[in-house]
Structures are given as structure tokens and as C-alpha cells.
């Protein structure tokens, strides 16, 4: 909820693409930094992923939230389109 509030303040409407995309990973990371009261130190989505792999807590939380959001969106699409043959990402 806090992440959504930060993103709404920044963008107004928050679509799935604001979260589940390359720039979305950076949006999540920057929102988490704002919530924690720290300045972001990762300037690109790639760096967020790299720092997450090295154990940076906020970067890892951003990647985790990204993956959870991707899984939710994928599940919604499966149900929406009645996919019966599986899901390929």
C-alpha cells in the first residue's frame, strides 16, 4: 500500500506497466527508498538487480515485489484469457 501511495503521488494513475517493466523495477526501488527515508543509489534497473544479488536490502525488496507483481499479473492474464495450455513468460 505504501508503494502504491508513493507511485500515485508521482504518476497519478498507476498501471501494471509502472511496476512490471524495466522502468517498473526502478520505480519500485525508488519508492522503497522514499518509504525508508533514504536516497536511491541505483540509477538503472540493471543496477537494482545487480545490487539485489549482492545483498542490498532495498534492491532485493524491489526485485521481490517486482516478481510478486509479475506473478500476480500473469495469473490474472491466464484467468482473463482462459489459458489452458500453460503460461510462457
Q: What is the mean pLDDT of residues 69-77?
A: 94
Listed range (12-21, 25-34, 57-66) with the worst mean pLDDT: 12-21
| Interhelix angle 22-36/2-11, nearest 10 degrees | 110
Sign of CA dihedral 18, 19, 20, 21: positive
Give this prediction's pTM.
Answer: 0.90
Domains and CATH numbers, the chain: 2-81 (3.40.367.20)
The Cα 55–Cα 18 span in angstroms is 24
For the cut 90, the answer to whether the pLDDT of residue 22 exceeds it is no
pLDDT of the residue at 63: 98
Percent of the chain predicted with pLDDT > 70: 100
Q: Cell match 524495466: residue?
A: 22
Amino acid at each position: 500500500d505504501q508503494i502504491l501511495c508513493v507511485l500515485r503521488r508521482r504518476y497519478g494513475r498507476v498501471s501494471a506497466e509502472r511496476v512490471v517493466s524495466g522502468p517498473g523495477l526502478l520505480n519500485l526501488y525508488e519508492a522503497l527508498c522514499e518509504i525508508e527515508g533514504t536516497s536511491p543509489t541505483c540509477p538503472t534497473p540493471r543496477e537494482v538487480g545487480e545490487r539485489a544479488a549482492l545483498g542490498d536490502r532495498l534492491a532485493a525488496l524491489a526485485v521481490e515485489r517486482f516478481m510478486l507483481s509479475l506473478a500476480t499479473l500473469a495469473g490474472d492474464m491466464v484467468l482473463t484469457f482462459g489459458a489452458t495450455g500453460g503460461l510462457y513468460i
